[in-house]
Structure 1
Amino acid sequence: MDTAPPFALLLDVDGPIASPVTRTVKPEIIALLNELGAAQIPIIFNTGRSDAFIRGQVMEPMIEAGMPDGLMVHAVCEKGATWFSFTAGGAGTVHVDRDLAVPSEFADDVRGLVSAKYAEHMFFDETKRAMVSVEQRVDVSNEDYRAEQERFDADALTLMGQHGLTAARLDHHAPGSDDEVDYRVDPTIISTDIESVRLGKDLGAARACERLRRDGIVPAAWFTMGDSRTDYAMADWLHHNDHTVVHVDVRPADGVPEKPYEIHTAAYLGLGPEVIHDDAGLAFLARWWDALGTA
């Protein structure tokens, strides 16, 4: 690229891009992603989702909507454990860091636990290559799921101990909760991820920058976007590595922490507190697209 892009986008998927209710992406978001990419804005997804989810819910809709020739989008999945790139021609090779994978014997036992005790409220995500994830069924209310999630998380921790694995349930308000364990049980609003403590949105940010450097791309600034406290780690990493970054929190109900960089919520756009998740994500993508037209 002859000139540095004015900004790059590092985007969580569940929440800001895909609806946590339907698990699908609005056509308006797909269209904006294609338009921003065509304008030479680098787009990298930084997600706990699997490569299969990104292919089905993001890549294929972008291609069907007329993804521009020459546009390459990158996806860092499973919080940095897997990654791949895609173009209008489809997905490239999926890379997997096997050193960061949860033992397969433990994964098998979690699958059995879900089947035997929790199948009415959640399902085992068979598409994950390194993490173990259990997700809310779409026909179950979130309130009912969250009650069962507490019990599942406790059972998962017990099961990890039986496998000789050291683990702790992540407290999103206690940064030291990963200390002295090898794995974490990370509850989100619609799932629980069981993963190596070496995974995280900061690792995803590092892999994103590495991918862009290989292409000779150094953005002038970054916008990161997420819907949970753990998503701030990507902006933290960028800031600590001397990048200019603004983080967008599309679900600030957990509280907006003090950070040394700018944080925007829907209120920044003059929108009310009811505008969250992919509604807020759509509004910010539209704002960034409009800014390109007036630059």
Structure 2
Amino acid sequence: MTTSTAPSPAVVAEPAFGLLLDVDGPIASPVSRTVAIASIAQDLADMANQGIPVIFNTGRSDDFIAQQVVPPLREAGLRHGTPVFTISEKGAVWAEVTPEGLGEIHIDEELRLPTALGDEVRDMVVERFSGHMFFDETKRAMISVEQRTDVDNDDYLAVQPDFDAAIPLLLDKHDVDQVRIDPTIISTDVEHERLGKDLGAARALELLSARGITPQSWFTMGDSRTDYAMASWLHERGHQVSHVDVRPADGVPETAHPVLTSDTGAIHDDAGAEFLSRWARSLG
């Protein structure tokens, strides 16, 4: 489908719900690192075109969103003026998402790690770990390495602890504190401790408030325990929110808000596609 030439949608001041979505897992396949299920982009574009806020709250870079997420949305007919944003690098970087790409890139400079530290991590990856992982050159604030797509996940996970264990020595060498080491099933992020999905949720509300948009409720979605922070943050501030866990095998914690999982046992982007289609249909 080509980009729609219909007029830009009117702003819906109080949409029925807003979507705050992790990208790896629920939207992009953790295997191919692409939006591999066509209905995902179509349902997201259809909801956004009806005024539903769609906000990607991800550890991924803005470049990943521009390269892997925007093209499928454009092909699905995403229109201008829709309330779609990316909050990347766990709250450090944010931008509007448009059919042509991303708008102005905003960076919180207080949360950017030193360039010299990133350079040394890159050198370490090349010298010791290049057979299993690569250094993410697209990150602007945090430092990330990721499993190579030609490497089996079990093999990557076997060496990931060695990489993680080497980071504190580099932090001491560069006299860097207030840093968190956050491993996932396909990557490790080295990041300022203020970064997180809760910070992303706060930025999401700021972006919508600037447009005069207040969703009546929220759905959040993710594939790890850290993704629960966005739903908890919203709930603690009085918002009605349900969180979708697309990888509940890690265990579903006790929460003060509803937690949803696939009725069919689907995981990752298969589960994400199920819920997105359900929400899109609910709009009629």
TM-score by length of 2: 0.94
- Please show how residues 1-295 of structure 1 align to structure 2 within 5 Å: 1=11, 3-25=13-35, 26-166=37-177, 182-266=178-262, 270-272=263-265, 275-293=266-284
User: Structure 1 CA distance, aligned partners of 2:81 and 2:104?
Assistant: 17
Residue type matched to 1:27 in 2?
A
Q: How many residues of Structure 1 are paired with residues of Structure 2 in the alignment?
A: 273
Cα offset, 1:68, TM superposition: 2.2
Contact 1:123–1:134 (8 Å) recurs in 2:
yes
Contact 2:12–2:51 (8 Å) recurs in 1:
no
User: Structure 1 CA distance, aligned partners of 2:78 and 2:197?
Assistant: 26
Contact 1:222–1:243 (8 Å) recurs in 2:
yes
TM-score by length of 1: 0.90
Change (3 A) 1:98 1:19: same
User: Structure 1 CA distance, aligned partners of 2:219 and 2:80?
Assistant: 24
Contact 1:71–1:88 (8 Å) recurs in 2:
no
Residue type matched to 2:232 in 1?
D
Could you tell me which runs of 5 or more consecutive residues in structure 2 were left unpaired when the two chains were aligned. Answer: 1-10
User: Structure 1 CA distance, aligned partners of 2:143 and 2:64?
Assistant: 15
Change (3 A) 1:51 1:248: same
Cα offset, 1:76, TM superposition: 0.3
Cα RMSD of the aligned pairs, angstroms, is 1.0
Cα offset, 1:3, TM superposition: 4.6
User: Structure 1 CA distance, aligned partners of 2:12 and 2:23?
Assistant: 29
Contact 2:47–2:280 (8 Å) recurs in 1:
yes
Contact 1:205–1:237 (8 Å) recurs in 2:
yes
Cα offset, 1:289, TM superposition: 1.0
What is residue 177 of structure 1 aligned with on the other side? Answer: none
| Per-residue Cα deviation, 1:199-229 (whole angstroms, up to 9, x for no partner) | 0000000000000000000000000000001
Residue type matched to 1:271 in 2?
T
Percent identity between matched residues is 57
Residue type matched to 1:16 in 2?
P
Could you tell me which runs of 5 or more consecutive residues in structure 1 were left unpaired when the two chains were aligned. Answer: 167-181
User: Structure 2 CA distance, aligned partners of 1:151 and 1:97?
Assistant: 30
| Greater shift in the superposed pair: 85-94 or 203-212 | 85-94
Residue type matched to 2:16 in 1?
P
